[in-house]
Structure 1
Amino acid sequence: MSRCFDESHHIDVKDILARLKGLSAAEEFFAVLGVSYDPKVLNVSRLHIMKRVGQYLGEEDFSGLPDQVIAARARAMLERAYEDFATASPLAHRVFKVLKDHDPDNPAPPGRTFVPFDSVLKPIEKK
């Protein structure tokens, strides 16, 4: 298994929240926070990992904390989100609404019937 990230890399914690807000690629978050990852896991679950870390970060109150503490917490949250999906499939965690709504273990409440898209489409008959 290959892991990406050089563990000896120094993490710059100055204005970490502002820097994180400016990132777009999942790999950038891992690099900035100094978290190693397996590219195979990230390629399969990147959106799920990023959604989950966003949920974790959204639950935190960082006001008044020094950048070093914020960076350490953000790093721990990214590691936790990554491990969630390194050890189980995205279907096991169901972080996105579409997956939550169609959980076979949690059927839709009455009045919210799910109709599969392919059952709506019918082949066009040529006359």
Structure 2
Amino acid sequence: MTTPDETVLDKLHEASAAEEFFDILGVAYDPKVVNVARLHILRRMAEYLASEDIEGIPATVAEARCKAVLERAYEDFVRSSPIDERVFKVHKEAIQPKAEPEAPANFVSLDSLK
């Protein structure tokens, strides 16, 4: 339930679906993009918001900043894929080279036997 003094941040905290974020902030979106990248978009939005100082500013300014950040995060995934953007740890680690396991100290390779 909405109260008259509820801020956009309060509304976003209550949102339970990515589409609600877009609706609350009035950002147009393609459902196909959101269906594929919903968690990635919201995670990227959170990363962008972390660099914004929106506490204690007028509600209209905070709402405008949140809207701009969501638009920016959404555009990242319109232009690219979740795998290319690598927002989550599992995707980031997927491109790191695997270290060669070290042989145990008592290991004798077949090449060393004559």
Q: TM-score range by the shorter chain?
A: 0.7 to 0.9
Partner of 1:96: 88
**Greater fraction helix:** 2
Would you say how many aligned residue pairs link Structure 1 and Structure 2? 98
CA RMSD of aligned residues (A): 2.0
- Extract unaligned runs of 5+ from structure 2: 102-114
Alpha-carbon contact 1:26-1:50 (below 8 Å) kept: yes
Alpha-carbon contact 1:49-1:82 (below 8 Å) kept: yes
Alpha-carbon contact 1:57-1:74 (below 8 Å) kept: yes
**Cα deviation, residue 59, structure 1:** 1.9
Q: Over alpha carbons, which structure has the higher Rg? A: 2
Q: Which runs of 4+ in 1 moved over 4 A?
A: none
The secondary structure found in structure 1 opposite 2:63 is helix
Name the amino acid aligned to 1:107. Answer: P
**1:52 maps to 2:40:** no
Partner of 1:84: 76
Provide TM-score, normalisation by structure 1: 0.71
**Cα deviation, residue 22, structure 1:** 1.1
Name the amino acid aligned to 1:51. Answer: R
Percent of aligned positions that are identical: 52
- Extract unaligned runs of 5+ from structure 1: 1-11, 113-127
Distance 2:28 2:50 in 1: 22
